[in-house]
């Protein structure tokens, strides 16, 4: 990431839940500062723009936080740096006053993770925090020199930034001129404005995509890979397609949900779906599709010991047990339907690590390699679908080398897992206190 920042000439766009406050995160900020300084020395005014989108509640937590980490950049390069802090419209009024700092994040978040440098993009589920740089398992895809994808995510982050609060050099925040305030203004008016701003980006991207599709598939200039290599002067037929998917239910945008449900519905008998999430809490719709369709499922989830909340203080320390309870309920339903062979659960475990990987790989019937993967921020749970802002990409490919890479990635993750059976829940670490069992149905929609 630092390497990409150092060579960026035009734009650096970073969207994350938060930026950590440790030495590794400081190195990242220092790298941005150095690159901005060099861009000014090379040309004034500089062409380089830096746009950072974070969540307001998570980014404002504590005395030293994401905001204080970024203030020096804003103060030194006010014309080049933009820091936007998304505040959910659902945290407002009395609720905003009463919900404590650590719990207010449960209402809704900016959860998109995109790291973009000129025309290259990293899509991930990882935040800008030291654990992700060291011992927190996640997934990453680096799309090198993909201007169409880079333009889309730049525009998307700009759009969400426009409906977010703008961090100022004195650590105050302001609304973009003419925009409805996210928690002081009328909720319906804010969400309508946000929908229009974001869908404007989607509609523009669709129009460009359709034009490119027409040019690609209805052009007589297309050649096979072999013919193109021989001719040397015309583009080969594409073998890989990338589709950005976004989910922003507060703004009535649910593209990712529709595509995910369609994938689960259309997966045929004999197809294999590998689905992974750091927080196993599938929506009822996703659960029904997994249990009611014909494809085979291998679901990878975190064992309690590698759950990000393991060992946390207070109520948060009970969250891994709540996930165990949800897992056990799902496993019991699989067994009651006699689906143990078709739907299998795996638990990831790695000493000293936590697990945050999420995504999906689809293997068509009879194929030993995947033709599709989903990678990005969604966890397939209630929060991802209903509360948070999410983005991922669907990569659809016929390229055998890329298919093999995706297959190897999947295998490496699943290699560190063990199969879940009835005996799993008899282990001492899987014993769930009664109060957790009683509370979980009431709070499962918040985590």
Residues identified as active-site: 111, 113, 118
Q: Cα angle vertex 374, ends 124, 119, to 5°?
A: 50
> How many whole angstroms separate alpha carbon 153 and alpha carbon 391?
9
> How many whole angstroms separate alpha carbon 293 and alpha carbon 303?
26
Residue 298 phi/psi, 5-degree rounding, is -120, 110
Taking residue 287's Cβ as centre, other Cβ atoms within 10 Å add up to 17
Residue 261 phi/psi, 5-degree rounding, is -65, -40
Tell me the H-state helices in 141-254: 147-162, 187-217, 225-231
Tokens of 272: 């294999």
Residue with tokens 């759009």: 159
Secondary structure of residue 136 in the 3-state scheme: strand
What are the C-alpha distances in Å from 14 to residues 103, 150, 220, 316? 25, 11, 39, 28
Q: Please, how many CA atoms are within 13 Å of residue 208, restricted to the half-sphere of its CB?
A: 12
Taking residue 321's Cβ as centre, other Cβ atoms within 10 Å add up to 22
276: nearest Cα among 344, 209, 230, 181? 344
Tokens of 98: 């009463």
Secondary structure of residue 406 in the 3-state scheme: helix
């Amino acid at each position: 990431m630092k390497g990409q920042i150092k060579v960026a000439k035009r734009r650096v766009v970073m969207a994350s839940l938060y930026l950590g406050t440790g030495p590794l995160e400081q190195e990242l900020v220092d790298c941005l500062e150095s690159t901005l300084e060099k861009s000014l020395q090379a040309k004034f005014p500089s062409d380089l723009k830096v746009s950072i989108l974070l969540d307001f509640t998570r980014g404002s937590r504590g005395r030293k936080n994401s905001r204080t980490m970024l203030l020096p950049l804003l103060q030194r390069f006010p014309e080049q740096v933009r820091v936007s802090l998304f505040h959910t419209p659902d945290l407002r009024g009395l609720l905003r006053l009463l919900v404590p700092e650590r719990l207010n994040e449960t209402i809704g978040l900016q959860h998109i993770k995109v790291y973009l440098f000129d025309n290259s993009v990293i899509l991930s589920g990882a935040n800008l925090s030291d654990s992700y740089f060291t011992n927190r398992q996640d997934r990453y895809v680096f799309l090198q020199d993909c201007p169409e994808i880079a333009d889309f995510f730049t525009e998307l982050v700009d759009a969400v930034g426009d409906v977010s609060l703008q961090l100022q050099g004195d650590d105050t925040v302001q609304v973009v001129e003419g925009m409805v305030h996210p928690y002081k203004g009328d909720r319906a008016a804010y969400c309508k404005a946000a929908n229009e701003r974001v869908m404007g980006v989607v509609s523009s991207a669709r129009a460009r995509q359709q034009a490119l599709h027409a040019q690609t598939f209805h052009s007589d200039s297309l050649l096979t890979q072999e013919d193109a290599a021989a001719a040397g002067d015309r583009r080969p037929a594409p073998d890989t397609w990338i589709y950005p998917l976004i989910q922003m239910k507060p703004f009535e945008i649910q593209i990712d949900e529709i595509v995910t449900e369609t994938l689960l519905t259309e997966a045929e008998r004999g197809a294999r779906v590998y689905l992974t999430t750091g927080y196993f809490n599938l929506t009822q719709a996703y659960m029904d599709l997994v249990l009611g369709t014909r494809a085979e499922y291998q679901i990878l989830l975190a064992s309690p010991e590698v759950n990000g909340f393991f060992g946390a203080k207070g109520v948060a320390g009970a969250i891994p047990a709540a996930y165990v309870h949800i897992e056990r309920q799902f496993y019991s339903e699989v067994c009651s339907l006699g689906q143990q062979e078709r739907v299998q659960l795996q638990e990831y475990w790695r000493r000293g690590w936590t697990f945050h990987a999420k995504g999906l790989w689809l293997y068509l019937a009879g194929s030993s390699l995947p033709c599709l993967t989903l990678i990005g921020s969604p966890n397939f749970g209630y929060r991802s679908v209903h509360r948070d802002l999410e983005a991922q990409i669907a990569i659809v490919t016929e390229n055998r080398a890329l298919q093999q890479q995706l297959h190897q990635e999947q295998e490496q993750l699943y290699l560190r897992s063990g199969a879940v059976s009835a005996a799993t829940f008899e282990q001492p670490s899987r014993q769930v206190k009664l109060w957790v069992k009683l509370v979980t149905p009431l709070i499962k929609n918040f985590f």
